Amino acid sequence: MNDARRGIREEVAPIAVIENVTPRVDGGRFAAKRVVGEEVTVTADGFAHGHEKVACALRWRGPGDNAWSESAMEFLGNDRWRGSFTVDRIGPWQYSVSCWVDHLESWREGFLHRIDPADVRVAARMGAELIAESASLAKGFERDDLTRLAAQLTGEQDPTTLRRFAGDDMLMEVARRHAPRDGATETIAFPLIVERERARFSSWYELFPRSASDKPGAHGTFEDVEERLDEIKAMGFNVVYLPPIHPIGREKRKGRNNVPLAEEGDVGSPWGIGASEGGHTAIHSQLGTLADFKHLVRGAKLRDMEIAMDIAFQVAPDHPWVKAHPSWFRRRPDGSVQFAENPPKKYEDIYPFDFDTPDRQGLWNALRDVVAFWAREGVEMFRVDNPHTKPFAFWEWLIAEIRRDYPRSIFLSEAFTRPRVMHRLAKLGFSQSYTYFTWRVTREELTEYFTELSQEDSREYFRPNCWPNTPDILPYHLHNANPTMFRLRLLLAATLAANYGIYGPPYELMENRPRDPGVSEEYLDSEKYELKHWDRRRAESLTPFITKVNALRNAHAALQSDWSLAFHPVDNGELLCYSKRAGANRILVAANLDPQRTQAGWVTLDMEALGLDEQAAFTVKDELNGESYPWRGKRNFVMLDPVKTPAHVFSIHPA
């Protein structure tokens, strides 16, 4: 809609003021995030000096739109306005707020309060002039209707009839729609990135392809992984994440348990990328061929699953780029290439890139081309290793470049680092982010952290993805932990966050042996450095429990987003209670954080968060075991024996 169509008169200087627009990320420097089908609610303060009323409109346009769509915003009181629109496709969107002096509404409000007949007639003629101006900007039958109304306000003498003319809400709304927008001001166009639904709701399962064979000692293949897809889907996961699948360097290769020197037969770490066979666009020969990988990707999509690929921008000493592009790497005083280190740790098997290289353009283009290569082969989800060790500008550029040609791409940031750095990466375009959940254990820690993630302004751009373990992290609370702790941590991750994942077989089988108990979070005999054979059919496997929890996630819309999360007070510090809601679908979780002892307490429910009356009677059904309990009002009792179950996952059914 152009300015002439909206009746903005250039000679009238901006009078209206717009403040406090939400959502807004760093004043509009970065995009807020939504997924297809979501409603975007925009609020703003809009006002002008004096007693004149103002009107506000929300404007938006999506990818490929030349014209802006517009709708009137609702007045909430105290100069606050609200509007909304629904996003229906992937890509970059924009929205803005416009505000102007509403002379017609200001006139009508005063006119309808006038009493003296002569005063009413004079004021009616003033309104007629405003409506005539609107008529001049209208067309067709609307122009005719407004012209007639202006004439009636001018010619009629009876005050009661004049008030009836002015009280015609429908006709007055037509007049306001065509009225000049005097003193109008408009915000900048705020950016919005819209992604597909899996950016908001996903269940990740990580496995090492080389350990996927059912034959002990045999090197796994992509075909072995594909044979496991039905099993993983049956557990309720929709994303299968593979660590790097490229050739592994032989020079400086690490041995088992991360010892500095490999012995003959040691397979090395997949993150030591590159050898004489190739680098980041090559495939480890024992895993299969590119055709085998593409078959795996297609097989996952046929099951409504996805293969997520690891992007690790680092190289092994014998990666082809080390010789072909020596300027991409820093040198030590002795002339050797600088290896990665985090003192006192040394990673001689990995060379980081020098992003300050004089050949910056060459390096950046080569790394972009790596992601584009796999996107062309059908990969649409990427887990990015240690993005916080690369320049922010690089990621903003690369993600934009990839999404321009592959808009369905989803990027997960693996940055366990300082909060501001994690948040900056999310603002730059990462769809999801690893979190501190892995180390949040107490009720106070979990409540504070997830309130931040779900209720503070950062939720507009930071989507949490919670993992109870990773190949790098066996957190201290899982060191030699009992099955209850493993069930508890999985259930918390899966119900507190809409995106979560596990490092597969080790979690199912409750692998709890640390390399250095109480000192290091490394696994003993870590799969990062050796082939493993996992007996997934062991009787004590957590597979049935994981399957049940994921089934609840897939069945209940309340668990498929984060913003409705609400915590409910409990008079026992070992009990954590929280809920999520999507319309009439309500889930209430009461968890026992003590893996050793039965805990009981009184929960005080936030009935407003649950959408229930204060004294409502309702039934809670434990979706884990099928048991139901009658509850009434906000104060109710829970008791949890950790041996039987770490938590209740209640669905709520009002009487």
Per-residue pLDDT reduced to its tens digit, 174-183: 988 889 888 8
The per-residue pLDDT for 109 is 84
Residue 414 designated active-site: yes
d(CA 341, CA 323): 21
Alpha carbons 237 and 551: distance in angstroms, whole number: 9
pLDDT (average), residues 262-274: 96
Question: How far is residue 296's CA from residue 294's CA, in Å, rounded to a whole number?
Answer: 5
- For 26, left (φ over 0), alpha (ψ -120 to 50), or beta? left
Over residues 227-244, the pLDDT tens digits come to 999 999 999 999 999 999
The values of phi and psi at residue 611, to 5°, are 70, 35
pLDDT in tens, 119-139: 888 888 998 899 999 899 999
Q: Which residues, including other chains, have CB under 8 Å from residue 160's CB and lie 6 or more apart?
A: none
Question: Under 8 Å CB-to-CB from 348, ≥6 apart: which residues?
Answer: 252, 260, 317, 339
Name 619's Cβ contacts closer than 8 Å, sequence gap at least 6. Answer: 628, 629, 630, 631, 652, 653, 655
**Residue of 206, 385, 460, 508 with catalytic role:** 385
The pair of three-digit structure tokens given for residue 178, joined into one six-digit string: 């065509």
CA dihedral (84, 85, 91, 94) in degrees, to 10, reads -60
Q: What is the predicted pLDDT for the residue at 9?
A: 55
| Domains of the chain, earliest start first | 17-194 (2.60.40.10), 200-557 (3.20.20.80), 566-654 (2.60.40.1180)
pLDDT of residue 578: 98
Report the alpha-carbon distance of residue 184 to residue 340 in Å, rounded: 56
- Per-residue burial over 53-69, b = 16 or more CB atoms within 10 Å of its CB, e = otherwise: bbbbbbbbbbeeeeebe
The DSSP bridge partners found for residue 239 are: 204, 306
What's the average model confidence in pLDDT over 455-472? 98
Place of tokens 């990673």: 347
- The pLDDT of 584-596, averaged and rounded, is 98
Q: Answer for the pair 196, 90: CB distance below 8 angstroms, yes or no.
A: yes
Q: How much is the pLDDT for 168?
A: 86
What is the average pLDDT score of the chain?
95
Region 460-484: mean pLDDT is 97
Kindly give the residue spans of alpha helices, DSSP state H, lying in 245-317. 290-302
Token look-up 């669905």 returns 651
Listed in sequence order, the DSSP H helices in 568-631 are: 607-610
Q: What is the mean pLDDT of residues 364-381?
A: 98
Tens digits of per-residue pLDDT, 82-92?
999 999 999 99
The model's pLDDT over 301-313, given as tens digits with 9 standing for 90+, comes to 999 999 999 999 9
pLDDT in tens, 129-166: 999 998 999 999 999 999 998 999 898 888 888 889 88
For range 614-640, the mean pLDDT: 97
Q: How does DSSP assign 516-536, residue by residue?
A: STTT--PBTT-GGGS-----T
Residue 4 has pLDDT above 80, yes or no: no
Mean pLDDT, residues 295-301 = 98
- Give the helix ranges, DSSP H, for 304-391: 320-324, 360-376
Is a pLDDT exceeding 90 seen at residue 323?
yes
Calpha distance 6→352 (Å, rounded): 56
Q: How confident is the model at residue 6 (pLDDT cuts 50, 70, 90)?
A: low
Assigned token pair, 361: 């353009």
pLDDT value, residue 3 = 45
The predicted pLDDT at position 341 comes to 86
What residues contact residue 356 under an 8 Å CB cut-off, 6+ apart?
A: none
Output 343 or 275, whichever has higher pLDDT: 275
Tokens of 190: 């705020």
- CA–CA gap between residue 300 and residue 97 (Å, rounded): 43
pLDDT, position 7: 55
Confidence of residue 479 (pLDDT cuts 50, 70, 90): very high
